[in-house]
Structure 1
């Protein structure tokens, strides 16, 4: 069972999200919160795997709430549930530690898919959001010393599909340690700080398609 919390200052949307996710057997809604401060004050007492976080909220916004939550529980996985906002909000949310983005208009299937993939250690981006971020992202370098090997490209493409290290290792018949080395090299060559940024970089540099 995947334990999930919801943080959103719009009561009707929050209640609707609870109703939708309650229909998915693998997901357990532990609690929902109307503000970032309310969520943070309760975080120490929560046994949750994932939090669905609105970005634009009154008071403490989703970016600040995510930063503070990750400082308390570094392993907590955050999925931003949002409308289209300024591009800078997406990048700031990634820097804060978000593992995925889902539009508020998403249906039950996409919400469930996002939660499942992030829970397994992957990332999830609604296609419209990924396209918007990729078009505005600052790309990495294309210098010869930073070009990816064929194996690194294979690993990168599987990362972009949301596969975990274990799943990539099984798919390519490699050890998990070897996959971790490839992942580290890809991040270094692409000059990206985390996997979420790497996915955007990969789309912008045509290593994978939207």
Structure 2
């Protein structure tokens, strides 16, 4: 099993120490970077880029929202899990749409934290029931649109098939096995889907596909 390189960004020392004690109990997860703000993170990324970061929202110098936007611009492959006390549904929906891969509340437990880290690393996203409910409520408050069945985005039948499997939380390798295709081919389809739908990652892809009624919930 590959070791997941993790970054932890939070301006409270006591909280970071608590998270570090949990991470030490998780096999094949290694904390390689700590930062106290978005600006501090961007500086340290010059020497070490983790696979996944745990990012707080409220920080001095550069908050989590601005940091997420900047990371999507500079390090689009870096996976971001927001770790915060904010429960506002609009904030959750917004952050997931601009590039976050997961959203956890700070009162989460060790089991869910580890599950989220591994899911984001393996699949590109993690939606727990709380986040899923917030996203669905956000979709319900939007003006309903007729189904587009992929036509407005010129999706091929294969791309639609891959998209459906992505929403079922299958990894790239699992989709490749199911469709009898290579991992590289599936990665190509996934990239084409993100380009056509104008999103930055798998989480955004699922949200956009549901919002535009390309797939059903």
Alignment TM-score > 0.5, same fold? yes
Post-superposition offset of 1:6? 0.6
User: Are 2:213 and 1:207 aligned?
Assistant: no
Structure 2 contact 172–186 (Cα < 8 Å) conserved: no
Q: Aligned residue for 2:107?
A: 105
CA RMSD of superposed structures (Å): 3.1
Q: Aligned residue for 1:193?
A: 199
Match of 2:171 among 161, 164, 174: 164
Structure 2 contact 6–31 (Cα < 8 Å) conserved: yes
Q: Which moved more, 1:92-101 or 1:43-52?
A: 92-101
Post-superposition offset of 1:94? 2.8
Match of 1:130 among 129, 132, 136: 132
Helix, strand or coil: the match of 1:120?
helix
The 1:161–1:110 alpha-carbon spacing in structure 2 relative to 1, beyond 3 Å, is farther
Q: Aligned residue for 1:20?
A: 22
Any unmatched runs of 5+ in structure 1?
none
Q: Aligned residue for 1:9?
A: 11
Q: Aligned residue for 2:39?
A: 37
CA–CA distance in structure 1, aligned partners of residues 68 and 187 of structure 2: 28
Q: Which moved more, 1:139-148 or 1:106-115?
A: 139-148
Match of 2:147 among 142, 148, 156: 142
User: Are 2:121 and 1:119 aligned?
Assistant: yes
* TM value normalised by structure 1: 0.79
Post-superposition offset of 1:120? 2.0
CA–CA distance in structure 2, aligned partners of residues 157 and 149 of structure 1: 12
Helix, strand or coil: the match of 1:114?
helix
Structure 1 contact 168–179 (Cα < 8 Å) conserved: no
Post-superposition offset of 1:121? 4.1
CA–CA distance in structure 2, aligned partners of residues 71 and 202 of structure 1: 22
The 1:32–1:84 alpha-carbon spacing in structure 2 relative to 1, beyond 3 Å, is same
CA–CA distance in structure 2, aligned partners of residues 179 and 5 of structure 1: 25
The 1:145–1:92 alpha-carbon spacing in structure 2 relative to 1, beyond 3 Å, is closer
Post-superposition offset of 1:31? 2.9
* TM value normalised by structure 2: 0.77
CA–CA distance in structure 1, aligned partners of residues 148 and 210 of structure 2: 18
